[in-house]
Structure 1
């Protein structure tokens, strides 16, 4: 039997180990979700860099994955298009050419047509 002089709320403590575990679990879940979002944003190159200032002279135009850690990347740097072969160990320059300002030469078919006719300006 309960003692009549002690109030009921004082005899049963509500804050115990289970509430601390629930709160800790929720905190770790939220931190895990934030780390997961950060990982995918870095993996997919979304968002801006954390320095806050992004250099406008250097842009990744396109990336073609060839394997788990191998890709071909086209970057634009100071008016040049650079085609790079990127592996885990090294980066190799495959081709460099000046930026072309014509609509026909911007697409790949127009570039191939121009290269096959022999009127190359690079």
Structure 2
């Protein structure tokens, strides 16, 4: 109900709040012999969480979603992310979501949505 420009919610109204989480692509992530894995490597979140990948490495990266066999699938796929760039995707369904960087295919990660 609206009264004098003030919105009053009754018990039947539902307010949805989205959450956010971040995955860092650390400096050195491009180096196959380095330890610059995604931080965190396995992000566990609830549904309706927006995940933000932030490239803190000195070279471009991308985020490519994969199926269980490692094939790129069209769920979330970023353009090249230069240093300082960010990419975001909101996970609305439970499941395990694999991803990798096609420029550095040894760098893989997972988002687990519960």
The question of a shared fold, defined as TM-score above 0.5 by the shorter chain, is answered with no
Question: Which TM-score applies when normalising by structure 1?
Answer: 0.24
Q: State which structure, 1 or 2, has the greater radius of gyration over its C-alpha atoms.
A: 1
Question: Which TM-score applies when normalising by structure 2?
Answer: 0.25
Return the structure number with greater helix share: 1
By relative contact order (CA 8 Å, sep 6+), the higher-ranking structure is 2
